[in-house]
Amino acid sequence: MKKQRKQYGLIAEEVENINPVFVTYNKQGEAETVTMSELVSPMIKALQE
């Protein structure tokens, strides 16, 4: 049996309130997903500070 690992994510609507640059939107203009690749560099910079 394969061991399950916990996965963590972000809620697009919550990220949108902080910075909408990190969010992609659907055709209706609703926040849909967080673009994690765009979020990595600012997160690293914040950790360094």
Q: What is the pLDDT, as a whole number, of residue 24?
A: 95
32-39: average pLDDT: 92
Residue 6 pLDDT grade (very low, low, confident, very high; cuts 50, 70, 90)? confident
What share of the chain has pLDDT > 70, as a percent?
98
Residue 1: per-residue pLDDT: 64
Q: How far apart are CA 33 and CA 26, in angstroms?
A: 9
What confidence tens digit (pLDDT) does each residue in 16-33 have?
999 999 999 999 999 999
Higher pLDDT, 39 or 16: 16
